[in-house]
């Protein structure tokens, strides 16, 4: 996989991606200076990287505790059936839940692993009783309260 994308991206494209990943607030002029190309060329290349899907978005990283969402909970979900329909129903329901930051289909002890942000344990308890246990096809839920975030949302290594 790594080799296939390396043929499509040259060293300037890679420098643009790395610079934007490190600081998404760079102006086009600052980015151009950093990667040693003209502003016009930089703008064209950056637009192409967006259009081709190399850059999926740019946004601010908000401190969860500062906005009252200090509790991080990992939730393992086992469904009662392993069918495309049951997976689809579950995924469609989870996508609608604002508290669920990430939902991944996984191999192993669970079918899905969810990353959930809430205010506190009481807030999670309410979410669990109100929504999580009634998600389509859920047979079992295992909850893990994160005590310390050691590494979160780090830049991709490429």
Is 150 among the domain residues? no
Is 154 among the domain residues? no
Confidence of residue 8 (pLDDT cuts 50, 70, 90): confident
24: closest CA among 56, 53, 51?
A: 56
Q: Identify the domain containing residue 122 by its residue range.
A: 64-145
pLDDT, position 139: 97
Provide the number of structural domains found in the chain. Answer: 2
- State pTM to two decimals: 0.86
Q: Mark whether 131 and 71 lie in a shared domain.
A: yes
pLDDT of 158 strictly over 60:
yes
Q: Could you tell me the two tokens for 110?
A: 């669970």
Q: Mark whether 38 and 72 lie in a shared domain.
A: no
CATH code of 19's domain: 1.10.10.10
**Tens-digit pLDDT profile for residues 40-98:** 999 999 999 999 999 999 999 999 999 999 999 999 999 999 999 999 999 999 999 99
CATH code of 112's domain: 3.30.70.920
Is 17 among the domain residues? yes
Is 19 among the domain residues? yes
pLDDT, position 110: 97
Q: Mark whether 82 and 115 lie in a shared domain.
A: yes
**Beta-sheet strands, E only, within 59-154:** 71-79, 100-105, 112-118, 138-145
């Amino acid at each position: 996989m790594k080799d296939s994308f390396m043929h499509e991206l040259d060293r300037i494209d890679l420098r643009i991606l790395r610079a934007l990943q490190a600081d998404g607030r760079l102006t086009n002029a600052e980015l151009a200076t950093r990667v040693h190309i003209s502003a016009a060329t930089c703008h064209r290349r950056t637009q192409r990287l967006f259009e081709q899907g190399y850059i999926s978005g740019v946004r601010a990283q908000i401190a969860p505790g500062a906005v009252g969402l200090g509790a991080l909970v990992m939730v393992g979900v086992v469904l009662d059936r392993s069918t495309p329909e049951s997976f689809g129903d579950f995924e469609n329901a989870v996508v609608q839940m604002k508290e669920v930051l990430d939902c991944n289909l996984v191999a192993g002890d669970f079918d899905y692993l969810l990353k959930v942000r809430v205010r506190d344990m009481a807030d999670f308890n309410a979410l669990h009783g109100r929504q999580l246990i009634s998600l389509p096809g859920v047979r079992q839920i295992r909850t893990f309260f994160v005590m310390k975030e050691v590494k979160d949302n780090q830049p991709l290594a490429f």
